[in-house]
């Protein structure tokens, strides 16, 4: 058997099901590759070698005993460290969770493990998923496998870099304002943010609960569909999880994209997309037209307000969600302090990094009694207008297309002193979270040797149309097959 490293999830499952490779061999090969590439990329916070090999052997035993191979049999998986795995540390990229070990596993992880996936590591991320570069991790920055002087994007930068570097064919991330799609674009992989409610948030550490979604990253749309099949569906343990039954996404890909209409918000694209990035986007549209899709212009008039709206709603919800880290219930507690109030204050000062503190202050301000109407309430109203913009656009088209980001990956340190510049990175991704709709990013070529992404947005619960377009695009192009330099 040649090395399974670099094989797709679909191919690994085939190797395991046919007996050409054991789950243990597949896991071992990937763990060796992690050890070889990790010093250059720093994608992981914790490799899980022992646990992975144990689980792989257990699955091999079951398969030898005649159990039918499950849909992700032996597929190596990297999990963003915002999702719980029972008994293992969840850091969320923060010092404040130091020593915390969750007593349960996130539904998203459990579903993939039940489908046969083998978790090989937990991925680095921006602290509490707040960021667009993974530089806000309390532990280390992750590097872009295409150029180690550049960021992988964020906040799921570890997940995206791991997939790009072939540490695993598949990873889980979370997306509150772009954190799956933006790093996927900057690392040259595919990322899906499902519809709000499509994937359970049980066991996902909350950032902004009305925006957060869990989703997969992989190198092909086929693999994303395969993982989405196992991932999506109702969970009684998450009250916001949708009752909507999930379709067979892999089956849906067979339909082809003919007849789908793609809407392009031309006037919004005028807002400062770097020239070459825009050129790759236009080429992608031309390819899709060649595949039988019709391109139409759509208006999304409130999108210029999306960033301001997002940074009010997301910080308001974060300030409330993060109140629970008080030194009593989870993780870190400051060693010496006079009274309870002082202990709360000192623990939070010690445990949270500067970006998390900035968001807590912003969010608390937006919710405070004198300013609630002017900021939080008004942001909620604009959020509704943005959702209606999409409803209207989806009368004229089936899928909305934009570039995923305005530029390719920037340099480490380039935006760390300028939070507003960092926030502008999210201009094309936050609207989907505000509207609750699904979004897919896929590699659409290189700019100066660095990948950029095509973003496709769909109607609520219509991930299938995005995947159909994406799969058709990948049949006609080879951008997703390019490998970054790994040594
Ligand atoms: N970059 C955005 C932020 O910093 C989005 C983060 C995310 O989706 N988790 O909030």
- pLDDT tens-digit readout, 285-303: 999 999 899 999 999 999 9
C-alpha 132 to ligand 1 mean position (Å): 6
Q: What is the pLDDT of residue 255?
A: 85
Sequence-distant (6+) residues with CB within 8 A of 397 are 261, 262, 263, 296, 298
Ligand 1 pocket member 179 (CB < 6 A): yes
C-alpha 479 to ligand 1 mean position (Å): 26
Q: What is the pLDDT of residue 487?
A: 59
C-alpha 63 to ligand 1 mean position (Å): 41
Residue in 93, 129, 420 to alter for ligand 1 test, most ligand atoms within 8 A of Cβ = 129
Beta bridge partners of 191: 217, 441
Residues 215 and 112: their CA atoms lie apart, in Å, by: 12
Ligand 1 pocket member 107 (CB < 6 A): no
Residues 400 and 421: their CA atoms lie apart, in Å, by: 25
Ligand 1 pocket member 177 (CB < 6 A): yes
Q: Which residues of 28-58 are buried (b: 16+ CB within 10 A; e: fewer)?
A: bbbbebbeebbeebbbbbbbbbebbbebbee
Ligand 1 pocket member 314 (CB < 6 A): yes
Q: Which atom of ligand 1 is nearest to the CA of 430?
A: 5
Residues 63 and 391: their CA atoms lie apart, in Å, by: 47
Residues 398 and 15: their CA atoms lie apart, in Å, by: 37
C-alpha 254 to ligand 1 mean position (Å): 33
Closest CA to 441 of 36, 128, 156, 51: 156
Q: What is the pLDDT of residue 50?
A: 96
Q: Which two tokens stand for residue 71?
A: 């849909």
Domain 9-300+391-481 fold is Amidase signature (AS) enzymes (3.90.1300)
Residue 461 contacts residue 247 (beta carbons within 8 Å): no
Q: What is the pLDDT of residue 159?
A: 98
Distance of CA 327 to the CA centre of its chain: 29
pLDDT, one tens digit for every residue, the chain (487 residues)? 589 999 999 999 999 999 999 999 999 999 999 999 999 999 999 889 999 999 999 999 999 999 999 999 999 999 999 999 999 999 999 999 999 999 999 999 999 999 999 999 999 999 999 999 999 999 999 999 999 999 999 999 999 999 999 999 999 999 999 999 999 999 999 999 999 999 999 999 999 999 999 999 999 999 999 999 999 999 999 999 999 999 999 999 988 888 899 999 998 987 689 999 999 999 999 999 998 999 999 999 999 999 999 999 999 999 999 999 999 988 889 887 789 999 999 999 999 999 999 999 999 999 998 999 999 999 999 999 999 999 999 999 999 999 999 999 999 999 998 988 888 889 999 999 999 999 999 999 999 999 999 999 999 999 999 999 999 999 999 999 999 987 5
The single residue of 8, 94, 137, 155 carrying the catalytic annotation is 155
Residues 429 and 440: their CA atoms lie apart, in Å, by: 10
Sequence-distant (6+) residues with CB within 8 A of 21 are 1, 4, 12, 15, 74
Residues 55 and 76: their CA atoms lie apart, in Å, by: 11
CA dihedral 422, 153, 438, 175 (to 10 degrees): -80
Distance of CA 32 to the CA centre of its chain: 25
- C-beta neighbour count of 484 within 10 angstroms: 20
Residues 313 and 316: their CA atoms lie apart, in Å, by: 5
Q: Which atom of ligand 1 is nearest to the CA of 433?
A: 8
Residues 240 and 230: their CA atoms lie apart, in Å, by: 19
Q: What is the pLDDT of residue 485?
A: 83
Closest CA to 189 of 214, 154, 165, 155: 165
155 tagged catalytic: yes
Ligand 1 pocket member 432 (CB < 6 A): no
368 tagged catalytic: no
Ligand 1 pocket member 155 (CB < 6 A): yes
Residue 83 contacts residue 204 (beta carbons within 8 Å): yes
Ligand 1 pocket member 127 (CB < 6 A): no
Ligand 1 pocket member 212 (CB < 6 A): no
Residue 142 contacts residue 49 (beta carbons within 8 Å): no
| Nearest CA owner, ligand 1 atom 5 | 177
The crossing angle, in degrees rounded to 10, of helices 49-64 and 23-41 is 160
Ligand 1 pocket member 426 (CB < 6 A): yes
pTM, rounded to two decimals: 0.97
Sequence-distant (6+) residues with CB within 8 A of 486 are 37, 40, 145, 165, 166
Q: Which two tokens stand for residue 316?
A: 């308001």
Q: What is the pLDDT of residue 432?
A: 98
Q: Which two tokens stand for residue 273?
A: 């997309």
Ligand 1 pocket member 176 (CB < 6 A): yes
The single residue of 22, 94, 133, 179 carrying the catalytic annotation is 179
Q: Residue ranges of the alpha helices (H) in 43-190? A: 49-64, 107-114, 157-164, 181-187
C-alpha 131 to ligand 1 mean position (Å): 5
Q: Which atom of ligand 1 is nearest to the CA of 156?
A: 9
Residue 301 contacts residue 266 (beta carbons within 8 Å): no
Q: Which two tokens stand for residue 344?
A: 């709360």
C-alpha 73 to ligand 1 mean position (Å): 32
Q: Which two tokens stand for residue 429?
A: 């991704």
Q: Which atom of ligand 1 is nearest to the CA of 131?
A: 4
Q: Residue ranges of the alpha helices (H) in 115-265? A: 157-164, 181-187, 221-231, 249-253
Q: What is the pLDDT of residue 424?
A: 87
Per 3-state DSSP, the chain is made up of helix, strand and coil in percentages (nearest 5) of: 45, 15, 45
Q: Which atom of ligand 1 is nearest to the CA of 182?
A: 1
Residues 273 and 405: their CA atoms lie apart, in Å, by: 8
Residues 79 and 174: their CA atoms lie apart, in Å, by: 10
Q: Which atom of ligand 1 is nearest to the CA of 176?
A: 8
C-alpha 419 to ligand 1 mean position (Å): 12
179 tagged catalytic: yes
User: What's the sign of the alpha-carbon dihedral 201, 205, 209, 214?
Assistant: negative
């Amino acid at each position: 058997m040649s090395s399974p490293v670099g094989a797709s999830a679909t191919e690994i499952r085939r190797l395991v099901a046919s007996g050409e490779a054991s789950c243990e061999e597949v896991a071992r090969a990937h763990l060796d590759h992690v050890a070889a590439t990790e010093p250059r990329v720093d994608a992981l916070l914790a490799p899980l070698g022992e646990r992975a090999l144990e689980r792989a052997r257990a699955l091999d035993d079951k398969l030898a005993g005649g159990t039918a191979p499950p849909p992700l049999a032996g597929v190596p998986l990297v999990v963003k460290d915002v999702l719980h795995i029972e008994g293992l540390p969840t850091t969320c990229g923060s010092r404040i969770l130091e020593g915390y070990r969750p007593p349960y596993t996130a539904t998203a992880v459990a579903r993939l493990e039940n489908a046969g996936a083998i978790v090989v590591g937990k991925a680095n991320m921006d602290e509490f998923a707040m960021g667009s570069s993974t530089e806000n991790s309390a532990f280390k920055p992750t590097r872009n496998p295409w150029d180690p002087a550049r960021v992988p994007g964020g906040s799921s930068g570890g997940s995206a870099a791991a997939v790009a570097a072939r540490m695993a064919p598949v990873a889980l991330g979370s997306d509150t304002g772009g954190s799956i799609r933006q790093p996927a674009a900057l690392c040259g992989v595919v990322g899906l943010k499902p519809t709000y409610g499509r994937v359970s948030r049980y066991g996902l550490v909350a950032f902004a609960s009305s925006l957060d979604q869990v989703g997969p990253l992989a190198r092909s749309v086929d693999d994303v569909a395969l993982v989405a099949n196992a991932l999506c569906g109702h969970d009684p343990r998450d009250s916001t999880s949708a009752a909507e039954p999930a379709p067979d996404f892999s089956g849906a890909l067979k339909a082809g994209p003919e007849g789908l209409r793609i809407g392009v918000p031309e006037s919004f694209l005028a807002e400062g997309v770097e020239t070459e990035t825009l050129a790759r986007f236009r080429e992608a549209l031309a390819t899709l037209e060649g595949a039988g899709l019709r391109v139409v212009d759509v208006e999304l008039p409130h999108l210029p307000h999306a960033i301001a709206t997002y940074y009010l709603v997301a910080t308001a919800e974060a300030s409330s969600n993060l109140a629970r880290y008080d030194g009593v219930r989870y993780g870190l507690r400051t060693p010496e302090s006079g009274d309870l109030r002082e202990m709360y204050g000192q623990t939070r000062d010690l445990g949270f990094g500067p970006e998390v503190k900035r968001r807590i202050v912003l969010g608390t301000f937006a919710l405070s009694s004198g300013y609630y109407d002017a900021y939080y309430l008004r942001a909620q109203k604009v959020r509704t207008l943005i959702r209606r913009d999409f409803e209207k656009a989806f009368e004229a088209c089936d899928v909305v297309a934009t570039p995923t980001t305005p530029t390719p990956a920037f340099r480490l340190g380039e935006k760390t002193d300028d939070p507003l510049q960092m926030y502008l990175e999210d201009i094309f991704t936050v609207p989907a979270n505000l509207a609750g709709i699904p979004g897919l990013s896929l590699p659409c070529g290189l700019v100066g040797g660095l990948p950029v992404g095509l973003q496709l947005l769909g109607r609520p619960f219509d991930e299938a149309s995005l995947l159909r377009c994406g799969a058709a695009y990948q049949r006609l192009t080879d951008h997703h097959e390019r490998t970054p330099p790994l040594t």
